[in-house]
Amino acid sequence: MGNSSTKSTNSEFNRVLGRWDIFTLAFGAMIGWGWVVLTSDWIQQAGVFGAIVAFFIGGVVVSLVGLTYSELTAAMPKVGGEHVFSYRGLGVNASFLCTWFIILGYVSVCAFEAVALPVVLENLIPLSHGNPIWSINDSPIHLDWVSIGIAGSLVIGFINFKGVKSAAFIQAIFTGFILIVGLLLIFGSLFLNSAPVDSTEVWDTSKFSIGLMSVIIMTPFMFVGFDVIPQAAEEIDLPFKMIGRVLILSVVLAVVWYIAIIYGVGTTLTSSELSNGSLAPAEAMQKIFGAKWAKDLLVLAGLSGILTSWNSFFIGATRSIYAMGHSGMLPKFFSHLHPKHKSPVNAIIFVTLISIFATLFGEIALGWLVNAGSLGIVISWSVVSLSFLMLRKKEPNMKRPFKVLFGKPVGILAFIFSLGLIYLYLPGNPSALSTYEWIIIGIWSLIGLGFYLWTNKVYGKKEIRENMAEHASS
C-alpha cells in the first residue's frame, strides 16, 4: 500500500481514472449547481461581505479537513475512503458511525438533485403543473415535476451501472462547461459590468452578525465532494502522491470559485434585484451581457451542475455502501459487483430508489436535505480528522506518499473546527436544524442502528474485524 504506484494494490475494480477524471469528479461535485440557486440567499442573509467571509471560514475548515484526507487517501487508497481511515484509526464502531453519516451526506445530495432538476428545467422550458397530486406544508407536488426527477434518477443510475469510466466521461464534459460559463460571469462582472452596484452596498456589514452563521452552516454541503476521491481510490490509475495533490487542489479551487461567484453577483445585482430574481447568477449574467441568451447559458450551466454533483455523489454513496457491505457492516448483498462493468449494482439500485422517493416531497425538501446532509458530512469529517491524529500517533512509520506538513496542528484544528460546525446545528443556536431536518437525522440513525445490530448478530464482530483488517492492511 505504501508504494508510490497504484499498480501495487489488488482490487476487484478496474483502475481507469486519470488525473483529469478525479479532478472533475471532486471539483464538479463541489461546485455543482447550489451556487446558481442559493447565491441570492447567501447575500441576502449575510450581505456580500458576510457571505464572502462565511465561505472563507468554511473554506479554511474544509481545506484543513481536505489535507487530512489527502494524506490518508495516499496512504490507504482503498474503496470506501472514510470507512478504512476510521477503522484503522479508531476501530469498528467509529468506522460504522463515520461511514453511515457520510453516506447520509452523499445520499442527501443525490436526493437534492432529483428534486432540484425540474426547478432548473422550468427556467428553460415551461412545465405544465396541472392539478397537484398532493401537498406538503401547503407546497404543491406536481406529477410532471415528480416524473422529471424520477427520469433523472434512472438516467444517473444507468450511467453508473455502465461503469465508472462512463460516469467520469460525462463528468468531464459538464464540469468543463460549468467552468467556462462561470468564468464568463466572474470576468464579465469585473470588466464588462456597465452598472455595478454601489460599493457601500457591496461592503455593507449590517447583516454580518445576523446572517454569518446561517451561511456558514451551509458551506459543508457546498464543499463536500473532495471526499469522493477516496471513495473511488481503487479505480484511480495515478501515483498515490498525485492523488493527494489533486484532492487538495480541487478544494482550494472550489473555495476561490464560491468567493468569486458571490463577489460577481453581489457587485452586479442590487438588493431589490436579488430579492426579485429566482436565480441570481443567471439574472446577473443577463444584466452584464444585456441579452437573454446569457441568462439561458447560465441556467444550462446550472443544469450541468446538477448532473456533475449528482453523478459524483452517486459514485461516493454507492462505493461507501459497497465498502460497508464488503466488510459486513451492512448486508453483504450490497457488495455485489457487476461481472462486466465492475459497478456495485445493488448499491446503485438502493441509491436510485432513495432519489426517486425524495421527488415525492417536492421543492420544500431542498432545504431539509441541505441541512440534514450537512450535519452528516461534518460528523464524518470530525471522525476522519480524529483518525488522522490517532494514526499519526499509533502508526508513525506508516508509509505516507503525501505527508502533510505540521500534521498534528492541522489535524487538531480540523477536528476542533469540525466539532464547532456540529455545534452550530444543535438546538439553541440561530442556525439550528428544523424539526423536519431532525426527523431525517433520526430516521437515518435508526436505520443505521438496525443494520448495526443485525450485522453484528448475523456476521459477528469477529468476522467484521477480520474483513476490515484484511481490507485496510498495507
The string of pLDDT tens digits covering residues 396-440 is 999 999 999 999 999 999 999 999 989 988 998 877 888 999 999
Nine-digit cell string for 108: 442527501
Could you give the CA distance from residue 229 to residue 207 in angstroms, rounded to a whole number? 37
What is this structure's pTM?
0.84
Any residues with CB less than 8 A from the CB of 370 and at least 6 apart, and which? 34, 108, 112, 218, 221
Residue 399 confidence (pLDDT): 92
For the chain, the structural domain boundaries read: 6-129+139-426
Could you give the CA distance from residue 286 to residue 293 in angstroms, rounded to a whole number? 7
Could you give the CA distance from residue 231 to residue 318 in angstroms, rounded to a whole number? 9
Dihedral pair phi/psi, residue 53, rounded to 5°: -60, -40
Instruction: Tell me which residue has cell 450551466.
Output: 301
Q: Are 38 and 189 in contact (CB under 8 A)?
A: no
Where does the pLDDT of residue 220 fall: very low under 50, low under 70, confident under 90, or very high at 90 and above? confident
125 vs 40: which has the higher pLDDT: 40
Decide if domain 6-129+139-426 falls under CATH 1.20.1740.10.
yes
Residue type (1 letter), 198:
D
Residue 253 confidence (pLDDT): 93
Residue 463 parent element (H or E): helix 460-472
Q: For the segment 39-87, what is each residue's pLDDT rounded down to a tens digit?
A: 998 999 999 999 999 999 999 988 999 999 999 988 988 877 889 999 9
Where does the pLDDT of residue 11 fall: very low under 50, low under 70, confident under 90, or very high at 90 and above? low
Q: For the segment 248-284, what is each residue's pLDDT rounded down to a tens digit?
A: 899 899 999 999 999 999 999 988 888 877 789 999 9
Q: Which of 326, 323, 314 is nearest to 350 (CA)?
A: 314
Residue 471 confidence (pLDDT): 67
For residue 311, pLDDT beyond 80: yes
Could you give the CA distance from residue 179 to residue 168 in angstroms, rounded to a whole number? 16
